[in-house]
Chains A and B, each alone.
Chain A
Amino acid sequence: MLTRRTIAFAGLMFALVCLLYAESQVAVKLPLLSGSVRFAVIGDSGTGSTEQYEVARQLEAHRQVVKFDFVIMLGDNIYGGHSPDDFQRKFEVPYKPLLDAGVKFYASLGNHDDPNIERLYKPFNMNGERYYTFKRGDAQFYALDSTYMDARQLTWLEQNLRTSNARWKICYFHHPLYNDGKMHGPDLDLRNQLTPLLKSYGVNVVFSGHEHAYERLKPQGGIYYFIQGDSGKLEHHDFHRSESMQTSFDRDRTFMLVEIQGDDLHFQTVSRVGETVDSGVLSKPQETSGARAAGK
C-alpha cells in the first residue's frame, strides 16, 4: 500500500522531471532579468486544430522556463461558431495548463470574433469592453478593436495615450497597418486614421494579426511593427519582400515571447516545433535607429 508521503514524493519527482524536460526542450533567448515584464503573444489562434494545440504545448513548455504571466491575443481568438463547445475546443482546452498556472489572457477582437460574446467572456479579461488598457511594470498596453475604429474609440485612445506616463506604450489589434503579406496586406484606411495618434503620443510597438504568418518590419515612423497571425492559421509562402520588411516566416505556426526591462524590449519568436525563427532586442524610441534586432 502506497503511503500519502510516497505519493506526494512521486508527484514532486514527476513535476521536477517535467520541469527539467521542459527546460531541456526549449531554447530561450530572453535574458530573464529580475523584475522584468514578460508576456507571450498569439494571433489568429482559435481554430481548434491539431496545430493550435501543438503551438499551445510549446507555449506551456516555454512558460515553465520564461515564467511569463500573461498572454496578449491579437484577434480571431475563436473562429467559426461561438458555442460553449467552441470556447472549450479553441481556448480552454489547448491553453488549460497556462490557465491552471494563473496565466492571464488579454484578448483583442478580430473579424472572426463575436465582440458581444467575447468581450463578456471573463477569461479574455476584456471586462465587457471592445477596447481597453492595462499596465504591467513600465509598459502600458492598449487592446484595440480594429474592426470598428469609430470616433469614440479614437478619442478614447488619444486621451489614454496622452495621459499615460508609461515608459513603453504598446498597442495591439487585429488588422495590420503595415504588412507584406499577399493574403490581406496592410489596412491603409486604418493606417491613415491611427498612425498620427500612435506617432504623436509615443507608441513604441504595435502587434497585429490577421495575416496568417509572421513578419517583423523595419521601424515605421519610429514605431516597431510585428505581425503575428499564425498561432492557429497559416498561409504558406505568403510574403513578397519589400523595403519595409525586416524578416518574415511563413513555413509554420508561431508565437512570441517578449521581455521588457528598462529601455530594452527583448523578443523571441518560436515555431510550432520549438525552433526560434526570430529574436533580438529593441531599444526605446530615442535609440530607434540603433535597434539591435537580429533575426536568426
Chain B
Amino acid sequence: MLIAVVLTAIAACRTGIAQKPPTAGTADAAVADDFEARVKRYLDFRQQRIGVPPKPTDNPAKILARQQEMGDKIRVARAGAKQGEIFAPAIAQYFRKQIAESFAGRYGNAIRASLAHAEPVKVELQINQSYPPNQPLQSTPPTLLLNLPELADGLEYRVLNRELVLRDAQGNVVIDYVPNALPESVK
C-alpha cells in the first residue's frame, strides 16, 4: 500500500497536481514526517487487527455488517484514544498553516464559496465515533486537499464545522481531528 502511495505521489508530482512537500531539513518537513509516521502506525495497526474490506456484493446487508464490524474493532482496539494522538499540537498547527495558506491563495474565495454552498453538518465531534450515517458528507474543497499531506486509500480528510477530520472511511470512524482548522471567518 505504501508503494502505491509513493508511486501515486510521484505521478502526481510529475503532473503538477500534488502539493509540494516541505523542504527537507525544515521544521515543517520534520512535522510532516511525524504525521506520516503516525498515519503509518495507524495503518499497520489497522492491517493487523481489522483485516481487509469486503468485496463487492449484491447484498447491502453484508457490506453494512462488515463496515460495522470493522468500525467496532477499531473502536475496541483504540478505546481511550484522545484527540491529538495523530494531530499532535505541532502537527495540528502545521495543518492550520497549510489550510490558512490555501484560503489566502488565489483560490481562497472559491474555497469559501464551495464551503458556503455545501450542506452544513452540525455534529459534536468525538474520537472513535461513527460519522452519522444519515448526514450528508461535507465535500472537501480540492484546493484544500491538494495542500495537505496525501493519505493512503481508506483514510480521508473531511471538513466538519471548522474542524478537519481524519476519518477511517472503511470503518466509518473518526480517528482524529484538528480543532479550529479552518479560519474563524468560515462558519
Contact = CB atoms under 8 A, between A and B. Distances in A.
A147 B111 CA distance: 13
A155 B16 CA distance: 9
Given A148-B156, A151-B145, A193-B143, A122 B56 contact: yes
A20 B63 CA distance: 41
Residue of B55, B63, B141 with highest tally of chain A CB at under 10 A: B63
B27 interface: no
A137 interface: no
Contacts of B111: 189
Interface in A92-120: 111-117, 119-120
A86 B63 CA distance: 13
Contacts of B17: 151, 154-155, 158
Contacts of B19: 151
B140 interface: yes
Contact of B138 (A111, A119, A146): A111
Interface residues of B, number: 49
A145 to B, nearest CB: 10
Interface residues of A, number: 44
Contacts of A126: 56
A117 B63 contact: yes
B110 A122 contact: no
B45 interface: no
Interface stretch (B35-43, B92-100, B114-122, B176-184): B114-122
Given A189-B111, A190-B142, A121 B57 contact: yes
Contacts of A114: 133, 137, 172
Interface string B1-41: 00000001101100101110000000000000000000000
Given A81-B133, A84-B60, A184-B117, A116 B140 contact: no
Interface in A169-208: 175, 184-185, 187-194
B150 interface: yes
A184 B156 CA distance: 24
Contacts of A16: none
Given A192-B110, A193-B146, A83 B15 contact: no
A155 B145 contact: no
B143 A81 contact: no
B110 A191 contact: yes
Contacts of A122: 56-58
Interface in B100-137: 107, 109-111, 113-114, 117-119, 133-134, 136-137
Contacts of B151: 150
Interface in B40-89: 53-61, 63-64, 67
A155 B139 CA distance: 19
Nearest to A86: B60
A180 to B, nearest CB: 13
Nearest to A157: B17
A175 B169 CA distance: 20
Contacts of A244: none
Nearest to A128: B56
A86 B110 CA distance: 35
B55 A150 contact: no
A149 B56 CA distance: 23
B61 A84 contact: yes
Interface string A198-240: 0000000000000000000000000000000000000000000
Interface string B138-172: 11111111100011010010000000000001101
10 contacts: A84-B64, A86-B60, A116-B169, A147-B137, A148-B145, A150-B140, A152-B8, A188-B109, A189-B141, A193-B146
